[in-house]
Chains A and B, each alone.
Chain A
Amino acid sequence: MPQKNALEGITVCDFSWVGAGPLATKYLADFGAQVIKIESTKHPDIGRLSAPFKDNIIHPDRSAFFLHSNTSKLSITLNIRHPKGVEIVKKLVKISDIVMESFTPGVIAKLGFGYDELKKIKPDIIMASSSIYGQTGPKAQFSGFGNAGASLSGHYMLAGWPDRDPVTPGIAYADVVQPLFTVTALLNALDYRDKTGKGQYIDTTQVETMIQFIAPAVLDYFANGHVQTRIGNRSSYAAPHGVFPCKGEDRWCALAVFDEEEWQGLCRAMKNPAWASESRFATLASRKENEDELEKLIAQWTATYEHDALVTILQDAEVPSGPVQDASDLVDRDPQLRERQSFVKLTHPVIGECNHPVPPVRLSKTPAQVKTSPCVGEHNAYVYTQLLGISDEEYVELLNEGIFE
């Protein structure tokens, strides 16, 4: 019997591009929704132009960046500025449950596909717009690049060393946070539609979702007037808490001690050096007070081990810990990711066999079933003739008119 899908029967008309939008519809597609990505041959998703490319050849069907954000989707090309293209979008909306977009606020309405228009075509349609700052309000026109979400929401100022400038997160962090809330909003909307028969319009922003992750810092300001700032690798409720040097070039191990039991564990792991029993390190409060010195002493100990060996010692002593890994560790070595098939090998028609990321939520009865990502316009014939019922004759006609460009 074939596996069941949680989103069986749900169709998504997907105008979104680059990061946060496609990463949201990837979850829907991996869990069984039919996600139809609307692209154009002249302006493919910018994500398709992002490195790395298979064999280093820059081509929209060779971007592994795109592949990692667009698994399990279908792609069609369509000139949505042509009146006949507009008619086709309307047909698509009619067979869709969800419309997703991530243009600068206002653009989708100008194209003629605002929520009010879509509602006329399909009264119970669910539409979601994903933006940095929101569809309404004095800054709705804001447009920004990758780090805008992290910087406007306050995250950026919370990362870095206290004696230096804040530090840029290694990724456009909001692009992976916002999609989780977009998907939540869409699933919530499907539930609401099932109960009431009503569709809805959803407005998700990078800023508002990112603040959810640092809410205690916000409350600290409202309650106490404190402006929290960067504290390196430390934590207000643990000591030691950081990464420590190990043998080898640029090798590090993270470890953290939150309570007495873990402190005793760490002391045991270090073979109870005399300094560890000094009163200045006896309690969490005193370790926080003497944290500079504490970190120096621990670093002297960690530096005598390879990082993996050190983690084994720390884990035996039940101290929360892990090696600082890089992407090569994740792809080539990590036994946990391998056993859980966090990346699954599938064959892409152009790229060939390669890793495809699997959503990190494992459902026992309706697991994600990841398929490869689409080439530009790969599903034109299927979507236009099979799903929309356009006759072969008309299809060729439209093709010749350049509607599918």
Chain B
Amino acid sequence: MLTDFRVLDLTDEKGFLCGKIMGDLGADVIKVEQPTGDPARRIGPFFHDTADPEKSLHWYAFNSSKRGITVNLEDPEGQDLFKRLSDTTDIIIESFHPGYMEKLGLSYAALSTHNPKLIMTSITPFGQTGPYKDRKASDIAILAMSGLMSITGDPDRPPIRMGLDQTYGLGGAHAVVGTLLALRHRHISGEGQYVDVSMYEAAVRANYWEPARWEFLKTLIKRSGNRFPRVAAKGLQLWRCKDGYVTWLLTGGVTGAKMMDALITWMNESGQAGILQEIDWNALHLSEVSQEELGSWEGIIEKFFLQFTMDQLEVEAVKRGIPMARVNRIDHVVKDAQLEARTYWETLPVPGTKETIGYPAFPFISSENSPRVKNRAPLIGEHNEEVYGKELGLSKKEISSLKERGVI
């Protein structure tokens, strides 16, 4: 566990996940907000749908396992205070525009002269260098540029993004990897270093197939709705059933034949396999099948699936060795028997109420030191006294003076 380490988290919504995961891993992560509260507290959804900076569920989700303090970094006194904190810290995570920390006198170069073991991780749309570093971008702009949107969506509609802000997750999770690598090096060498994470590069990395296709074949795939776009006859990946959808892909050849045989046996138990039973799946190459022919087979299968619920399809598919998955809505996800058996959910209190709500408890399981969400997200300045007083040694008088002057 990272219990020995202190992290100062200066990120906005683009970088929250990094500190959140470090917190789950046991680090003492202190979210640093401006005295009026982090602007990201405006992001919904909100507890009981009441828009309130202390009730943002987005904030709760990505800032649990952290403590919270406030400081005005644009105030010279605030900068001094932050420098003192920085000297007690192992890691700083930030997501300001490149150059902003330097303008405040808080660049890695400046802070690490006092604390050479310090690691600083920056999470920005394009990274700290390059012609695009000063561009303004949010999730959808980054995803658009990554090439992922050009291959996602229906052919007759605009390219579409994945749900919610995925590039912020990709950037944040990469930042955890970079920070832990830097910690590993520090453990061996004693020296800190600077980690530069580009969300754009993270999204381009997620587009892990297409750059090679272009380089070697000079072909591009087009968005094709729910059809697998990478072979000539594009197979359906999303199938309707009685109460929702399942995902599955018709495949031939050595890998597909076993599954197709199992499916046809199942269909034949009610005499529904039709022409499908006449096909030699072992010898079938989808590259040699026309879209029309594939469509006629899929029509038969679609009719069959429509007679079942997701639960029924899931049970039969597992029993028969057919790689099929339910397309879960969020309410299915939270009621999933597998996740429940693995104690995936944790309840934490909602501040100012007697209620609790559920959270994802961990990103992975370890036999020795499993991470786990440890506390709800902080209120604005909730730990000012604890951190500035008890830990930094400021007197009550000093703290209230800082408060009065809007430094914290």
Contacts and interface: CB of A to CB of B under 8 A. Distances in A.
A and B together in one complex: yes
Interface string B301-337: 0000000000000000010010111111111111011
A137 B338 contact: yes
A330 B211 contact: yes
Interface stretch (B37-45, B71-79, B271-279, B396-404): B37-45
A173 B363 contact: no
Given A147-B237, A218-B61, A218-B358, A187 B323 contact: no
B138 A320 contact: yes
A200 B367 contact: yes
A191 B321 CA distance: 39
A254 B149 contact: yes
Q: Which of A199, A242, A362 has the largest count of B CB atoms less than 10 A from its CB? A: A362
Nearest to B205: A360
Given A145-B323, A168-B237, A258-B138, A201 B366 contact: yes
Contacts of B83: none
A202 B365 contact: yes
B162 A360 contact: no
Contact of A322 (B57, B142, B321): B142
A154 B247 CA distance: 12
Interface stretch (A85-93, A332-340, A377-385, A391-399): A332-340
Contact of B211 (A211, A254, A327, A363): A327
B357 A56 contact: no
Interface residues on B, range: 35 or more
Interface stretch (B99-107, B191-199, B262-270, B379-387): B191-199
B212 A329 contact: no
Given A64-B212, A167-B225, A361-B178, A211 B360 contact: yes
Q: Which of B143, B237, B326, B337 has the largest count of A CB atoms less than 10 A from its CB? A: B237
Q: Which of A254, A329, A332 has the largest count of B CB atoms less than 10 A from its CB? A: A254
Contacts, number: 504
Interface in B202-223: 202, 204-217, 220-221, 223
A252 B159 contact: yes
A132 B240 CA distance: 22
Nearest to B164: A214
Contacts of B248: 145
A361 to B, nearest CB: 3
Contact of A64 (B181, B216, B226): B216
A217 B216 CA distance: 40
Interface string A126-146: 000000111011111111111
Interface in A177-216: 177, 180-185, 187-192, 194, 196, 198-205, 207-209, 211-216
Given A218-B330, A219-B57, A219-B61, 20 more contacts: A51-B230, A67-B212, A152-B328, A153-B333, A168-B152, A184-B21, A187-B177, A191-B184, A200-B367, A201-B367, A208-B362, A220-B45, A320-B138, A330-B210, A331-B211, A336-B126, A354-B216, A355-B211, A355-B212, A362-B196
11 contacts: A68-B212, A140-B338, A160-B160, A168-B228, A194-B187, A203-B366, A223-B47, A256-B138, A326-B147, A335-B130, A365-B185
